[in-house]
Amino acid sequence: MIGIFKTNIDTLQDKNTVVAAIARHFNTTACTVDLEDCDKVLRIVCQQLEEQHVITFVRGLGYQCVLLE
């Protein structure tokens, strides 16, 4: 499954922090943040994905996160 989220992750340091935390917490195949995109798109690939769980987790790290339709 693939989850695509709009975030406010702005810096490379923030990106690295979030990607590392997601990798530790979820069983991901891939996780990226596109800092060049205006929506700062977070893309997560994993076998089972509960989108609301990801949103809650990222918000707990201090960042905005909503499902991108």
Q: Which domains does the chain have, with CATH numbers?
A: 2-67 (3.30.70.100)
pTM of the model: 0.94
Residue with tokens 């997601």: 22
Q: Is the pLDDT of residue 2 over 90?
A: yes
Q: What is the pLDDT of residue 69?
A: 78
Phi, psi of 65 (to 5 degrees): -160, 120
pLDDT of residue 26: 92
- pLDDT tens-digit map of 41-69: 999 999 888 999 999 999 999 999 999 97
